[in-house]
Chain A
Amino acid sequence: MSGFLTVGIMKTAVELGLIYALVAMALFISYSILNIADLSTDGSYTLGTAVSAVFTISGHPILGIFMAMLSGSLSGFVTAFLQTTLGIESILAGIIVNTGLYTVNLAVMGFSSNLSIFGTDTIFTLFAGDNAFLNEWGVVILLSIIVLLLCFFLKWFFKTGLGLSIRATGDSPAMVRASSINPTFTITVGLCLSNALTGLSGSLIAQYNKTADINLGTGMVTVALASLVIGESIFGKKKLILRLLGVVFGSLLYRSIIALALRLKVPTEAFKLVSACIVALAISSTKVKELLQYSRLRRNAMERQKKEGEKHA
């Protein structure tokens, strides 16, 4: 096995898993907590890469990270504004913003479809410095710190008055109407926070790959949803911190599966189809289980009837 999946391959899987875990955490906020399918995720992820790349090229990788988060949350704000104040269906609001972001992203990258950032410092090279160990493992360490910090921040946040109100907004719209929670406000804060995480993930991948591409975000929402669903089905839906760590774990597992598929020489073109199948399977699993159970019950009942019929005959 160690020969088949080398340390290098697994390390890359962990690094990518940690970066993509941030998008899965973003969807945890919008999809699991607010009960909104935020389809602007692809666009705001690419926005994060574009903004981060531009700042990194001009020599400000750290500022690039924060600007990417800020622009991500701005995009989330627009999505929220469309669906709360202007009353556009939430899925449609996401699609509209996603479409608009394509042009915005191109504009950020100076109307070229990709940017290369070789030769300048990234937060990873800054973190590693001249240390040999950090040059090897620095990326994993830095990403783990970021992801863990955010997990504990979210755990803390969702127990505050505002965090609890956001959870209630997604859980019981009727209750929110009768309580003093302003759903416009809670949905806006939730989507800003969620898209800031998406932007952060995009900004990290840009500096990690040292490149930004206009099509990088395509299908991101499905991939992140796969991680989210894998995590929630393994870790359950009990404690908040466990759910968050489960999402991270799901992302790591998903990347490992992809690494395995790569070793098995599955063509990269097939990946989007594979992730689509994983998501569809995972989300429908409870219903499929129910259907199987139902057909088994029916078969048993019919057999019993047949036996009794034979007895009487």
Chain B
Amino acid sequence: MLSLSHIYKTFNAGTIHEKKALQDLNLHLSSGDFATIVGSNGAGKSTLFNAISGSFLLDSGSVVLEGEDITFLQEHKRSKFIGRLFQDPLMGTAPHMSIEENLSVSYLRASHSSLFSRVKKKDREFFREQLSLLEMGLEDRMNHPVGLLSGGQRQALTLLMATMVTPKLLLLDEHTAALDPKTADKVLELTRNIVEERKITCLMITHNMHQALELGNRTLMMDQGNIVLDLFGQEREGLSVDKLLELFMAKAGKALDNDRILLS
């Protein structure tokens, strides 16, 4: 499904700010895998996502998705089949456009329609249906500008937009971290439902250790630009947070230092 082999990325090479962000990183995801990623500050979690979605070109290594080598594919071309959510709920939607128009943008682009096609009545029905699944009453506010929605509503809408046409891969970069606990749970539940129902292959960065073990079928731990721990199957089942931290200590040779994890 997704294969990353021997990925290297160094920022500001040759200067005093040199940062080896990814070092010989290898990852293989099977179809339908839902992996959570935890790691220390600056471990390269978001850089890994940027590498997969094509925000920059790799120094070396390759990215293969469903048998297609996308290492040198431009970012906007990859976005056709890779959905992505950020921590900041403001980043995924256009504030001055209505809910319907936001949905139309992703729907029209992803459904391979022509440049000049417009949203039809039956598409609008489909939007309503999808919005009602969020149970936030957004289906009755289709003409409201998205800027008026709360962070949680915007993030839920972004999730809908990213998965409206099922992506091959979904990248979630702490997408509930900026929301209040209740809304975060709601968005997380929506995520779980959508991902499970449509068997979307998914990577999710989180700083919540419980989430990391509960959600999905696989847990990855990162440190210094590499995956140091890859847990799945029996090994992962019934694992406690303390045990996980111990394992990390044994592998990385140090304690997990993520201030956000300690605070949560």
Interface of A toward B, CB cutoff 8 Å:
159-162, 164-165, 167-168, 171-172, 174-175, 177-183, 237
Partner of A161, one of B76, B90, B91, B113: B113
Partner of B109, one of A165, A167, A174: A165
B63 CB → nearest A CB, Å? 17
Interface size, B (range):
35 or more
Interface residues of B in 60-78 (CB under 8 A from A): 74-77
Complex formed: what's the CA distance from A164 to B74 in Å? 21
* Total A-B residue contacts, Cβ distance less than 8 Å: 79
Residues on B with C-beta less than 8 A from A174 are 86, 88, 90-92
Q: Does the CB pair B77–A159 fall under 8 Å?
A: no
Complex formed: what's the CA distance from A21 to B53 in Å? 43
Q: Known: A171-B96, A175-B92. Contact between A180 and B110, CB under 8 A?
A: yes
Query: Which of B3-11, B24-32, B115-123, B193-201 lies at the interface with chain A?
Result: B115-123
A216 CB → nearest B CB, Å? 34
Complex formed: what's the CA distance from A271 to B106 in Å? 46
Q: Does the CB pair A161–B94 fall under 8 Å?
A: no
B114 touches A (CB below 8 Å): yes
B20 touches A (CB below 8 Å): no
B114's nearest neighbour on chain A, judged by CB, is A161
Residues on A with C-beta less than 8 A from B95 are 171-172
Query: Which of B97-105, B178-186, B215-223, B240-248 lies at the interface with chain A?
Result: B97-105
B108 touches A (CB below 8 Å): yes
Give 13 pairs: A residue, B residue, CB < 8 Å, sorted on A: A161-B113, A161-B114, A161-B117, A164-B101, A165-B109, A167-B97, A171-B95, A171-B96, A172-B90, A175-B91, A177-B55, A178-B86, A181-B76
B36 touches A (CB below 8 Å): no
B155 touches A (CB below 8 Å): no
Q: Does the CB pair A168–B105 fall under 8 Å?
A: yes
Complex formed: what's the CA distance from A174 to B94 in Å? 9
Residues on A with C-beta less than 8 A from B92 are 174-175, 178
A32's nearest neighbour on chain B, judged by CB, is B96
Complex formed: what's the CA distance from A172 to B97 in Å? 10
Q: Does the CB pair A179–B79 fall under 8 Å?
A: yes
Q: Known: A172-B94, A181-B105. Contact between A161 and B79, CB under 8 A?
A: no
B117's nearest neighbour on chain A, judged by CB, is A161
Per-residue CB contact flags for chain B residues 110-144 toward chain A (1 = under 8 Å, else 0) read 10011111110000000000000000000000000
B19 touches A (CB below 8 Å): no
Q: Does the CB pair A171–B94 fall under 8 Å?
A: yes
A66 CB → nearest B CB, Å? 21
Q: Does the CB pair A179–B96 fall under 8 Å?
A: no
Residues on B with C-beta less than 8 A from A237 are 96
Complex formed: what's the CA distance from A178 to B90 in Å? 12
Q: Does the CB pair B110–A159 fall under 8 Å?
A: no
Q: Does the CB pair B118–A161 fall under 8 Å?
A: yes
Partner of A180, one of B77, B90, B102: B77
